[in-house]
């Protein structure tokens, strides 16, 4: 069961009356009276979950989540049910905090990788790779021309050595 707001028509018959003495005591002392037994099938009371001083700042979120879990269940918790719901709320909040921290760490890592990639020099593209190969071929051609200029008989000598090597490999040797 979920708690519903009264209709706009002003009909307050569905709402339980709040005792003025309890409200005055709550306002004056800042405390909530102890848990009151709820009628069978009635939604849980927030006062049962907030404790004696309307919940401290450390436990307020846990108590509100436990109350929400009780409302979602649709039945009032048993005698030890409030503590069980508080433990479940603590576990759920811890799980949520861990997931949130994990996601934030992952986001920080992703940003760090992007920043590091932005600092790196750009890689060669296709055009630069082709240009680098053409420059390498030009340098090799210049080296061959320089060798030919120093010894014009070098190509004939290399061809003879290659022929001897091939004949040795083929067993003609």
Note the pLDDT tens digit of each residue in 7-59: 444 444 444 444 444 444 444 444 444 445 444 555 667 766 776 555 577 78
pLDDT of residue 153: 87
Which residues, in sequence order, are CB contacts of 2 under 8 Å at separation 6+?
43, 71, 72, 74
Q: What angle do CA 134, 137, 161 make, to 5 degrees?
A: 160
Helix (H) / strand (E) element for 7: namely none
pLDDT of residue 62: 83
pLDDT of residue 8: 44
**Closest to 73 in 3D by CA, of 172, 3, 11, 164:** 3
Burial of 67 (0-12, 13-18, 19+ CB in 10 A): buried
Give the pLDDT band of residue 61 (cuts 50, 70, 90): confident
């Amino acid at each position: 069961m979920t708690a519903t707001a009264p209709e706009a028509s002003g009909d307050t018959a569905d709402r339980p009356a709040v005792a003025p003495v309890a409200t005055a005591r709550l306002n004056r002392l800042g405390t909530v009276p102890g848990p009151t037994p709820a009628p069978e099938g009635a939604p849980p009371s927030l006062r049962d979950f907030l404790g004696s001083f309307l919940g401290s700042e450390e436990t307020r979120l846990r108590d509100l989540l436990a109350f929400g879990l009780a409302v979602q269940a649709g039945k009032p918790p048993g005698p030890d049910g409030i503590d069980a719901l508080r433990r479940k709320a603590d576990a759920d909040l811890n799980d949520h905090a861990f997931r949130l921290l994990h996601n934030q760490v992952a986001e920080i890592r992703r940003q760090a990788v992007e920043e590091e990639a932005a600092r790196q020099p750009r890689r060669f593209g296709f055009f630069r790779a082709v240009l680098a190969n053409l420059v390498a071929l030009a340098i090799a051609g210049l080296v061959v021309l320089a060798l030919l200029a120093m010894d014009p008989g070098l190509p004939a000598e290399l061809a003879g050595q290659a022929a001897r090597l091939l004949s040795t490999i083929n067993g003609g040797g």
